[in-house]
Amino acid sequence: MLPAGHNFAMSSPGILGVLHVGGTVVLARDPSPRTSFALIAQERVTLASLVPPLAQAWLSSARRRRPDLDSLEVLQVGGAKLADAVAEEIGPVLGARVQQVFGMAEGLVNYTRDDDPDEVVLGSQGRPISEHDEIRIVDPDDPDEREVTDGEEGALLTRGPYTIRGYYRCDVADRDSFTEDGFYRTGDLVRRLPSGHLVVTGRAKDQINRAGEKIATDEVEEPLLAHPDVLDAVALGLPDPYLGERLCVVVQPEAGVATDEALTARLLDHLRDTGLATWKLPDDVHFLTSFPITHVGKNSRRELRTLLTSQLQETP
């Protein structure tokens, strides 16, 4: 269902891994749940790989259609962090065990394992595939990049046998992206469990500075994703003359859900009920029938921010 040339679809274990062990690769003509579900039933597919928005679309579709997914054993989800609330639904709704995948084109790849306990599979993004992968978790605000205490949130740095040591003819990017001793600055914020598994807590820039208070986008997005009326949600910080940034959420509702003031009220009540602090509640709620995405199917916050800023500037 993913672009075949992308490293996730190609080698995680992907096309190359399946062919290496003598398996069969089934290619979908389009990524829609309808097409994918028909192929799984017809070809008796045992493993499939998705990015989080597609996983959410599968869940939504499966609840309505009850497809034949009996052969499906493992559903890999990667490319971006999978919300805990979505991970917990994959087993009950799709009948497959989720395997979380977290990595980057520059190198490091992490997986949950078959023998990991459910709480680790559902609540972490895996551990490095190679015993030679090196991990450092450092204070993102420390110019000396000193490591944080194990279990604390920090910026992820990595070095290993398949992680690049620099970009081609791009010295400026290299200075920003690599330490002097060759560690790649991923830009991800993580914390490490005692088992070595990483929990992705956000991106270094996925924070909204509202009147001097920092709000992580995940704090708002994850509770919204657990609401039955919500297919997808993205939290954004938009310029504000008084607050510096105001917190906005863009919601893609489930099919057939009316996007009215009553829905906004239900979502705000839901956020309060989950224990979200009052000062972290959205200043604005917007609804879109679809989200701009990147070429590999991720939500593009950059495009959403541009779109919303333009719309708000046009609003009297």
Is residue 316 scored above 60 in pLDDT?
no
Radius of gyration for the chain, computed over Cα atoms and rounded to the nearest angstrom: 20
The CATH class that applies to domain 7-103 reads alpha beta
pLDDT band, residue 297 (cuts 50/70/90): low
Q: 207-314, superfamily in CATH?
A: ANL, C-terminal domain (3.30.300.30)
Please tell me the predicted confidence (pLDDT) of residue 315: 61
Residues 6+ apart with CB under 8 A from 60: 33, 231, 254, 255
Residue whose C-alpha is closest to residue 249's, from 272, 277, 268? 268
Phi, psi (rounded to 5 degrees) for 195:
-75, -5
Q: Residue 90: pLDDT above 70?
A: yes
Domain ranges of the chain: 7-103, 134-203, 207-314
| Banded model confidence at residue 144, pLDDT cuts 50, 70, 90 | very high
The residue with tokens 């598994």 is: 197
The mean-pLDDT minimum among 59-63, 201-205, 236-240 falls in 201-205
Q: Record the tokens describing residue 207, joined without a space.
A: 């924070």
Give me the pLDDT at residue 241, please. 74
What pLDDT, in 10s, does the model give residues 253-277? 999 999 999 999 999 999 999 999 9
Alpha-carbon distance of 122 to 92, in angstroms, equals: 13
> Do 36 and 57 touch, CB atoms closer than 8 A?
no
- Residues 171 and 12: their CA atoms lie apart, in Å, by 29
pLDDT tens column, 209-233: 787 677 888 889 999 999 999 999 9
Helix-strand-coil split of the chain, %, nearest 5: 30, 25, 40
Query: Which residue shows structure tokens 């939500």?
Result: 299
Assess contact for 190 and 156: CB atoms under 8 A.
yes
**Helices 84-94 and 217-225, packing angle to 10 deg:** 20
Mean pLDDT (whole number) for 54-65: 93
244 has a pLDDT exceeding 60: yes
Type of residue found at 212: G
Provide the pLDDT for residue 206: 72
Under the banding of pLDDT at 50, 70 and 90, the label for residue 238 is confident
191 near 137, Cβ under 8 Å? yes
**C-beta separation of 270 from 227 below 8 A:** yes
Spatial strand order in the sheet of 184-192 = 134-138, 154-159, 184-192, 198-203
What average pLDDT score do residues 41-47 get? 98
What DSSP line would sit under 207-223, residue for residue?
Answer: EEEETTEEEEHHHHHHH
In tens, the pLDDT along 148-198 reads 998 999 999 999 999 999 988 888 788 889 999 999 999 899 999 999 999
pLDDT score recorded for residue 240: 80
Quick: pLDDT tens for 95-132. 999 999 999 889 999 999 999 999 999 999 999 999 99
Amino acid at site 219: E
pLDDT confidence band for 207 (50 / 70 / 90): confident
pLDDT at 298 over 80: no
Which of the following CATH numbers is that of domain 134-203: 1.10.150.130, 2.30.38.10, 3.30.70.360, 3.40.50.2300?
2.30.38.10
Position 186 scores a pLDDT of 92
Provide the pLDDT for residue 104.
87
| pLDDT score recorded for residue 294 | 63
CA 163 to CA 161: how far, in whole Å? 6
Mean pLDDT of all residues belonging to the chain: 90
**Cα gap 125→108, rounded to integer Å:** 12
The span from the CA of 262 to the CA of 114, in Å, is 43
Q: How far is CA 70 from each of CA 24, 57, 75, 298, rounded to the nearest angstrom? A: 17, 19, 12, 28
How far, rounded to the nearest angstrom, does the alpha carbon of residue 119 sit from its chain's CA centroid? 18
Percent of the chain predicted with pLDDT > 90: 65
pLDDT at 310: 75
204 or 62, greater pLDDT? 62
Neighbours of 189 (CB within 10 A): 22
Side-chain-side CA neighbours of residue 286 (13 Å): 20
Counting every residue, how long is the chain?
316
- Cβ burial of 59 (10 Å; 0-12, 13-18, 19+) is middle
